[in-house]
Amino acid sequence: MNVDAPAPTRRTQVNERTILDARGLTKHFPIRNAFGWQTGVLRALDDVSFTVDKGEILGIVGESGCGKSTLGKTIMGIHQPTDGSLIFEGNDIAGAAPSAARERRRHLQYSYQDPGASLDPRWKIRRSLHEPLVIHHSGLNYDEREERVRAILQAVGLPVGHLDLYPHEISGGQQRRVGLARILTLQPSLVVLDEPTSGLDVSVQATILNLLMDLRKQFDLTYLFISHDLSVVRMICNRIAVMYLGKVVEFGETEAVFETPCHPYTRSLLSAIPTIGGARVIDTFSLEGEPPNPGNLPSGCRFRNRCPMAQQTCAEVEPELRADWPGQEAACHFAQ
């Protein structure tokens, strides 16, 4: 199922195919005590920069709490970024007023992690699918909307009869399909997929992944693929960004990162994936400890407390992403 998009560009290089350009994107949440006084800052995203090319699939991977969902939601405008700019199809959507940004963001859509919870349990599927058209294309009458909805429903592989069912009457895999149909009615160009296969059985996951690839071809879509499942990411993404505690620690072409991971965190993360038929991870895995509290980060490199290569410099200087490898960048002082 390897992807047939054009060769990806470097991380922050803008060209005529660039569809999204994130520059120094930062999101800090205040930590407040019981009286409402701010006692600290939770750095959910810190100076994240990258570009997304039209037609590519960019994977955002990392463990829970690393900021990957915050990144998706900040791009979507669900969170206002603390700092940084976000250029989507030539317009800055980070600083714009909410109403203007919503207009500019019509072609940017977000697929929620849990489609069961994002569909109204008291609405039939038909009404849920009509809703985005009612909001964004108020000129259409009922019949025109129904026509579009039926076409989309067919594209995601659901029978028309499902329009008259309620969300609880269909399976988890079918709910995902409805969630995708809901997004596609607006003809987006970039879709943020937040954990599109979590909670699905492997056989259903396979059909959903195949569907995502078909839809991408059919509707000319670009995906920002947020996932913690590295084997899925390896299979479908062109490039990936590995995040750790709000920072991108490694970025590059998927194969390069998986074959020769440079950052020690990426290496540990990849070595933790079970390979059926290969050496057992539990015999070889060495990373100890757990990620620190994101409200109280270590100085310098955020990974240094768990890093086998950490030295004095790591506590003093925060490493920047270095583009020292072909098709790959890593934020580590000692990566070779």
245: left (phi over 0), alpha (psi -120 to 50) or beta: left
Residue 133 and residue 122 in contact, taking contact as beta carbons nearer than 8 Å:
no
The 3-state DSSP class for residue 108 equals strand
Taking the complex as a whole, the smallest distance from the CB of residue 275 to another protein amounts, in Å, to 8
The 3-state DSSP class for residue 309 equals coil
Taking the complex as a whole, the smallest distance from the CB of residue 283 to another protein amounts, in Å, to 8
48 versus 269: smaller Cβ distance to another protein? 269
Q: Which helix (H) or strand (E) holds 225?
A: strand 222-227
133 versus 307: smaller Cβ distance to another protein? 307
Q: Which distant-in-sequence residues (6+ apart) come within 8 Å of 104 by Cβ?
A: 88, 89, 91, 93, 96
28 versus 228: smaller Cβ distance to another protein? 228
Taking the complex as a whole, the smallest distance from the CB of residue 56 to another protein amounts, in Å, to 18
**By the criterion CB under 8 A, which residues form the site for another protein?**
1-2, 63-64, 171, 173, 201-207, 209-210, 228-232, 234-235, 268-269, 272-277, 280-282, 285, 287-288, 290
Q: Which tokens hold the place of 249?
A: 């620690």
Taking the complex as a whole, the smallest distance from the CB of residue 104 to another protein amounts, in Å, to 35
98 versus 199: smaller Cβ distance to another protein? 199
Q: Burial level of 61, CB count in 10 A (0-12/13-18/19+)?
A: buried
Residue with tokens 């980060």: 297
173 versus 319: smaller Cβ distance to another protein? 173
Residue 241 and residue 57 in contact, taking contact as beta carbons nearer than 8 Å:
no
Q: Which distant-in-sequence residues (6+ apart) come within 8 Å of 290 by Cβ?
A: none
Taking the complex as a whole, the smallest distance from the CB of residue 68 to another protein amounts, in Å, to 12
Taking the complex as a whole, the smallest distance from the CB of residue 258 to another protein amounts, in Å, to 8
Residue 290's identity, in one-letter code, is: E
85 versus 207: smaller Cβ distance to another protein? 207
With b meaning 16 or more CB within 10 Å and e meaning fewer, what string describes 86-102?
bbbbeeebbebeeeebe
34 versus 276: smaller Cβ distance to another protein? 276
Taking the complex as a whole, the smallest distance from the CB of residue 111 to another protein amounts, in Å, to 19
95 versus 159: smaller Cβ distance to another protein? 159
Radius of gyration over alpha carbons of the chain, in Å?
A: 21
Helix axes 202-219, 172-184, angle to 10 degrees: 10
Taking the complex as a whole, the smallest distance from the CB of residue 144 to another protein amounts, in Å, to 32
